[in-house]
Amino acid sequence: VASRLKDWVAIESDSTDPEKRHLVINMMLLAEERIRKLGGTVEMVDLDMQELPNGNKISLPPVILANIVKDPKKPTVCFYGHMDVQPAKIEDGWSTEPYILTEKNGKCASDDKGQVLAVLNAIEALQKHELPVNVKILLEGMEEVGSIGLNTLVKQRNSTFFSDVDYIVVTDSAWLSNKPGITYGTRGICYFFVEIECAKRDLHSGSFGGILHEAMNDLIFLLDTLVDSSGHILIPGIYEAVAPLTEKEKKLYEGIEYDLDQIMAKYGLEEFRNKTKEELLMQRSRYPSLSIHGIEGAFSAPGAKTVIPAKVTGKFSIRLVPNMEPSVVEKQVTDYLNKKFTELNSPNSIKVASDTGSKPWLSDINEPQYLAARKAIKRVFGKEADMIRAGGTIPIATHFQEVTRKSIMLLGIGGPDDASHGQDEKISRYFLLIFLKIINMLI
Amino acid sequence: VASRLKDWVAIESDSTDPEKRHLVINMMLLAEERIRKLGGTVEMVDLDMQELPNGNKISLPPVILANIVKDPKKPTVCFYGHMDVQPAKIEDGWSTEPYILTEKNGKCASDDKGQVLAVLNAIEALQKHELPVNVKILLEGMEEVGSIGLNTLVKQRNSTFFSDVDYIVVTDSAWLSNKPGITYGTRGICYFFVEIECAKRDLHSGSFGGILHEAMNDLIFLLDTLVDSSGHILIPGIYEAVAPLTEKEKKLYEGIEYDLDQIMAKYGLEEFRNKTKEELLMQRSRYPSLSIHGIEGAFSAPGAKTVIPAKVTGKFSIRLVPNMEPSVVEKQVTDYLNKKFTELNSPNSIKVASDTGSKPWLSDINEPQYLAARKAIKRVFGKEADMIRAGGTIPIATHFQEVTRKSIMLLGIGGPDDASHGQDEKISRYFLLIFLKIINMLI
């Protein structure tokens, strides 16, 4: 069984690199073969071509839509996962070759091949007696670059493939500690680009320093009006839509295992803004936050360069929580920045743009599949599952919910220190084994 | 004569690229040959090796120290120039191949080969009668990367090569308009690096957004405390040392030809901070300025990335004017940033560093060589020369002054739109011809 994961990890199915697209396709074929061996019927759905930034078009990997459906009376669970990975090189600081599965201390690839294979292995094990549910599987190969083409496909198949699906389980998530957890919500996001232009070409600070309104000054001023030193977002109205905290919800944070000291030590943090675990988890789960990511167009290389950049674009994003609406936040931010900019009396031009926002997602933890998963976890571990709301965004969850209106649950088995997208990404063998039990008790 | 410049321009003597070092050396040999043909004695001085960032060592191009000395009773003028260039490729937007001299509208390489050759051609022409002065020539090949090794050499030869030099003429400067100008001052510079670190590795804004003091927030706050929206530097004490403006100096700015509208149109500027030509020239020449150049360590590529950068370094510089001292400015800035940072109550770490500062340089425009050059320009053009103080830094001028204590003059013939370091750099044929006359009338 471990050799299956080894074979899967060996394929460099990096969806970000067009030159490795054939490897992503190979990976999909390998997954197809595995599902057929489980007796599933597999449809390999071809998507439209992908247009690259240079205008060239290349094939998208097919999406797998599979059925292991036996009994129309049984409920149907659809598992979602992805077969693509982010770029990884040994030079990035991995301690072993990233595409050679290495077993270390009982650990061995979490985002997302390991989790998908765990589901398939669990199905295989359960088939020896009788599969307690009908299973459908949706696997894609473009998740790491925004699930290109998937949204359209989900809409197209909503009344066919999804019609008899009762529950959708997304395998692409992680626990907060070694204690199993179920993710029932994620924050959304609005990503902003604020561009200031002061000249049509870069200028030398010797010749031009002091005599013009430099774009960097205007941009730094604007970026400095976004949050105060306590992290509070200064854009008017931003907190208005935030769902009020109920006592019931508050209680959920108390039971969650989350070791602040361990996280601080791991990432080299001096301190968190929040003094208690509960406050921290709430800030991360159910309150918005604003992060400034960087500036495009300014001098960013090592060394010293005396340039006055002509056009600079500040980039920041706001994490959204229920009941914030991307379109409302976009308007609030744009209006605020434009208003602040007029205060500067600058002759420069400003452009505020945003990526298509992603809504926050929240499920009811008392839906049947949640109750089943919580019961299964309690039976295996003897304790309540952590009910988690992820700070990040899993757009596919939002999309599944909006299009299919089915019950969605994020039942990942990624450990908290699996370092998704990071050096030495791994998956714990221990987690792989227990997943089997959870699936068995799901219904 | 034009074919000489063509041969010189053809050599890609890019000092920034170690793989082209042999071409810089070839360029020095070509200049040596030209000077020997004028009857000069040439010493090719070998410098120490250059250590590259990767630890490898490569040869520095030799420095040319040449003499065309005939009469000990005549004054001795030492011309300084450089034979290296910055990288240039046709892809950068040149309209013709950058290393093929192309004549367009009577124009044809200004920084600095064209100017050096103009001096040598003028000497040749004057030798047909009698050279009115003794001439020494100092040519280097590493100017574009900070004149590596030259400072040491100037110190070593101060009591030998420079002992009988009366006047040093630096050819590496430009006029402000088509009206000839003489540069008698430059601003200095202090370059600062302010580094804030919040974690030992980059973080994901989903998982960490809102729960920590992000390094970018602290840095943006600090960068926003440097200048106000009118360009005034907010660091206490920074204006204290600035030399007061005298009526005599003020008058000099009135006569200078400088077309604000033309510059604005050329660089795509909406407006200058300064309403009049005089105010603008004074701001650029005799008042300090602060420019923010960029941030290292933050997200600077195109697109959207939801990173919380772990360590970011803001880069800015202050242009210094007489009588500001780099060491004083460095202390003022460091103290100010540290004080502002404590106001934030941030748990992050701060490091303020600076490059070795460069002092401002200022000559007396009534020194004999200035009077001679002004007289010559008036005789040829029928009007007073613009007396220019450059906004940028020419460290070699400061260094010559500090070490040799000789009279230094920047008598360049670069036109205002020669676009040094830019696409389609050129030199005007017209300027080449008149330089001959100026030299002839110098003494």
Residue B95's pLDDT band, with cuts at 50, 70 and 90, is low
Using CA atoms, how far apart are residues A38 and A66, in angstroms rounded to an integer? 11
Q: Has residue B149 been placed in a domain?
A: yes
Look at strands B76-82 and B134-140 and give their pairing: parallel
Burial of residue B26 (number of CB atoms within 10 Å: 0-12, 13-18, 19+) = middle
Residues shown for chain B: 443
Query: Is the same domain home to A345 and A409?
Result: no
Query: Is the same domain home to B390 and B300?
Result: no
User: Around Cβ A18, how many Cβ atoms within 10 Å?
Assistant: 14
Domain count, chain B: 2
Query: Is the same domain home to B17 and B134?
Result: yes
Q: Comparing C-alpha atoms, which of B116, B169, B112, B170 is closest to residue B418?
A: B112
Query: Which residue ranges of chain A lie beneath pLDDT 50?
Result: 105-108, 419-421, 423, 426-434, 443
Q: Has residue A296 been placed in a domain?
A: yes
Residue the block writes with tokens 């000249």: A199
Q: Has residue B269 been placed in a domain?
A: no
Q: Has residue B162 been placed in a domain?
A: yes
Query: Is the same domain home to B134 and B219?
Result: no
User: Does the pLDDT value for residue B126 go beyond 60?
Assistant: yes
Kindly calculate the radius of gyration of chain B based on its CA atoms and give it in whole angstroms: 24
**CA B88, B89, B91, B95 torsion: positive or negative?**
positive
Q: Helices (H), strands (E): how many in chain B? A: 13, 17
Q: What is the structure's pLDDT at A436?
A: 55
Q: Has residue B250 been placed in a domain?
A: no
Query: What chain B residue is nearest to A307 in terms of C-alpha separation?
Result: B293
Domain final position from A303, A325, A354: A354
Q: Who wins on pLDDT, B440 or A245?
A: A245
Q: What is the structure's pLDDT at B419?
A: 46
CATH of the domain at B66: 3.40.630.10
Q: Helices (H), strands (E): how many in chain A? A: 13, 17
DSSP string, B58-120: EPPPPEEEEEE---TTS-EEEEEEE--B----GGGT-SS-TTS---BTTB--IIIIIHHHHHH
Q: Do A221 and B224 touch (CB under 8 A)?
A: yes
User: Around Cβ B2, how many Cβ atoms within 10 Å?
Assistant: 12
Here the ipTM equals 0.86
User: Does the pLDDT value for residue B194 go beyond 50?
Assistant: yes
Which residues 380-409 of A are in CB contact (within 8 Å) with B? 390-393
Burial of residue A151 (number of CB atoms within 10 Å: 0-12, 13-18, 19+) = middle
Q: What is the structure's pLDDT at B54?
A: 86
pLDDT digit string, tens, across residues A313-330: 999 999 999 999 999 999
Q: What is the structure's pLDDT at A117?
A: 84
Domain final position from B303, B325, B354: B354
Q: Which two tokens stand for residue B106?
A: 């009577």
Q: What is the structure's pLDDT at A178?
A: 80
Query: Is the same domain home to B116 and B237?
Result: no
Mean pLDDT of B137-145: 90
Query: Is the same domain home to A166 and A200?
Result: no
Q: Do B294 and A295 touch (CB under 8 A)?
A: yes
Say whether A342 sits in a helix, a strand or coil: helix
Using CA atoms, how far apart are residues A183 and A180, in angstroms rounded to an integer? 10
Find the largest Cα–Cα distance for chain A.
81
Q: Does B268 touch chain A (CB under 8 A)?
A: yes
Say whether A78 sits in a helix, a strand or coil: strand
Nearest-neighbour CA in chain A from B388: distance (Å): 12
Using CA atoms, how far apart are residues B422 and B102, in angstroms rounded to an integer? 16
Using CA atoms, how far apart are residues B438 and B435, in angstroms rounded to an integer? 5
Query: What chain A residue is nearest to B217 in terms of C-alpha separation?
Result: A292
**In Å, how far are A92, A174, A419, A425, B64 from A422, measured between CA atoms?**
9, 14, 5, 6, 53
Residue B105's pLDDT band, with cuts at 50, 70 and 90, is very low
The β-bridge partners of A44 are A64
B392 vs A198, A199, A204: nearest CB = A204
Q: Comparing C-alpha atoms, which of A68, A211, A8 is closest to residue B278?
A: A211
Q: Has residue A253 been placed in a domain?
A: no
Q: What is the structure's pLDDT at A105?
A: 40
Q: What is the structure's pLDDT at B35?
A: 95
Q: List chain A residues with CB under 8 Å of B305.
A: 293-294, 315
Query: Is the same domain home to B420 and B347?
Result: no
Query: Is the same domain home to A7 and A153?
Result: yes
Query: Is the same domain home to B235 and B97?
Result: no
Q: In one letter, which amino acid is B257?
A: E
User: Around Cβ A6, how many Cβ atoms within 10 Å?
Assistant: 15
Which of A351-360, A392-401, B232-241, B401-410 has the largest mean confidence?
B232-241
Residue the block writes with tokens 């600035």: B242
Q: List chain A residues with CB under 8 Å of B397.
A: none
**In Å, how far are A201, B123, B409 from B119, measured between CA atoms?**
32, 6, 14
Say whether B293 sits in a helix, a strand or coil: strand
Q: What is the structure's pLDDT at A26?
A: 94
Q: Do A292 and B216 touch (CB under 8 A)?
A: yes
pLDDT digit string, tens, across residues B37-53: 999 999 999 998 998 88
Q: What is the structure's pLDDT at B103?
A: 54
Q: List chain B residues with CB under 8 Å of A348.
A: 270
Q: What is the structure's pLDDT at B324?
A: 97
Is A143 one of the catalytic residues?
yes
Q: Do A220 and B284 touch (CB under 8 A)?
A: no
**In Å, how far are A126, A159, A160, A233, B193 from B196, measured between CA atoms?**
53, 53, 54, 21, 10
Is A84 one of the catalytic residues?
yes
Look at strands A181-186 and A203-204 and give their pairing: unpaired
Kindly calculate the radius of gyration of chain A based on its CA atoms and give it in whole angstroms: 24
Using CA atoms, how far apart are residues B146 and B57, in angstroms rounded to an integer? 17
Which residues 211-230 of B are in CB contact (within 8 Å) with A? 211-214, 216-217, 220-221, 223-224, 227, 229
Residues shown for chain A: 443
Using CA atoms, how far apart are residues B218 and B208, in angstroms rounded to an integer? 16
pLDDT digit string, tens, across residues B325-378: 999 999 999 999 999 999 999 999 999 999 878 899 999 999 988 988 888 888
CATH of the domain at A299: 3.30.70.360
DSSP string, A7-23: HHHHS--BTT-GGGHHH
The domain of A210 spans 189-242+287-354
Query: Is the same domain home to B324 and B347?
Result: yes
CA A385 to chain centre: 21
Q: Do B206 and A280 touch (CB under 8 A)?
A: no
Domain final position from B304, B335, B354: B354
